[in-house]
A and B are shown apart, each in its own frame.
Chain A
């Protein structure tokens, strides 16, 4: 299948909207259920100490919402997508740590994601990392001059 400029833009838009919804929802839920999120982090077998849990309980949702704003604003979208990629890789490493190395599995996070088991959570995270990579690649192709595009056509 040949992807022309319009298709690329539509795919980038869809992935960006997905990440905006995901990060704003996850960030706000963590702020609203602050006690529960802090408690989950505090009981986590792969995170050390009370102070780390306290810092992360404020830092993670703040970062998620800031990244969502970066993705939403067209001029900063690429930076936002890179930031989303870094965040998603960190979350994936954390979930992988719980699934493969943790002596016990703590209760999962709040919101709709509570319905997922940790291995399912890992699959979702890996899929989201791949989606971010796709969006970044398409965005970079979109910005290239036409003469260089022939190398990147997805068929």
Chain B
């Protein structure tokens, strides 16, 4: 029982570490995603990090602008520090 008391927590640690690597979806550092309904991937954009202003993308000329996200789950929005930024992908 004494050995089990030491080995079991160690195995629990190993299991938990394995699970966290298995379930975390790490974002591709070379891509961003836009909230256009299907989460279209776009090349990594250069928005300054900040939380006050939006960083948006325009996929076609005179088309609507979409919020840019860092992750495919569209949970981490990119933001601009000084003003709202619109990346024109059609240029």
How many angstroms between the C-alpha atoms of A86 and B77 in the bound complex?
32
Query: Are B20 and A29 closer than 8 Å at their CB atoms?
Result: yes
Query: Are A74 and B5 closer than 8 Å at their CB atoms?
Result: yes
Given A24-B20, A29-B23, decide whether A39 and B75 contact each other with a Cβ distance below 8 A: yes
The residue from B1, B21, B70 contacting A35, defined by CB atoms under 8 A apart: B70
Q: Interface residues of A: mostly helix, strand, loop or mixed?
A: helix
Query: Are B17 and A24 closer than 8 Å at their CB atoms?
Result: yes
List residues 1-60 of chain B with CB under 8 A from any CB of chain A.
1, 4-6, 8-10, 12-13, 15-17, 19-21, 23-24, 26, 51
List residues 106-147 of chain A with CB under 8 A from any CB of chain B.
107, 110-112
Given A32-B24, A32-B26, decide whether A13 and B5 contact each other with a Cβ distance below 8 A: yes
Query: Are A9 and B23 closer than 8 Å at their CB atoms?
Result: no
Q: Which residues of B contact A72 (CB under 8 A)?
A: 9-10, 12-13
Query: Are B9 and A17 closer than 8 Å at their CB atoms?
Result: yes
The residue from B21, B23, B77 contacting A39, defined by CB atoms under 8 A apart: B77
Verify if B76 is at the interface (C-beta below 8 Å from A): yes
How many angstroms between the C-alpha atoms of A111 and B25 in the bound complex?
8
Nearest Cβ on chain A to B19's Cβ, whole angstroms: 5
Verify if A16 is at the interface (C-beta below 8 Å from B): yes
Q: Which residues of A contact B13 (CB under 8 A)?
A: 20, 24, 68, 72
Given A9-B1, A39-B75, A39-B76, decide whether A32 and B20 contact each other with a Cβ distance below 8 A: yes
List residues 11-67 of chain A with CB under 8 A from any CB of chain B.
13, 16-17, 20-25, 28-29, 32-33, 35-36, 39-40, 42, 50
Q: Which residues of A contact B71 (CB under 8 A)?
A: 35-36
Q: Which residues of A contact B70 (CB under 8 A)?
A: 35
Nearest 6 CB-CB pairings of A with B: A24-B16, A72-B9, A28-B20, A20-B12, A25-B16, A17-B12
List B residues at the A interface (Cβ < 8 Å). Answer: 1, 4-6, 8-10, 12-13, 15-17, 19-21, 23-24, 26, 51, 70-71, 73, 75-77
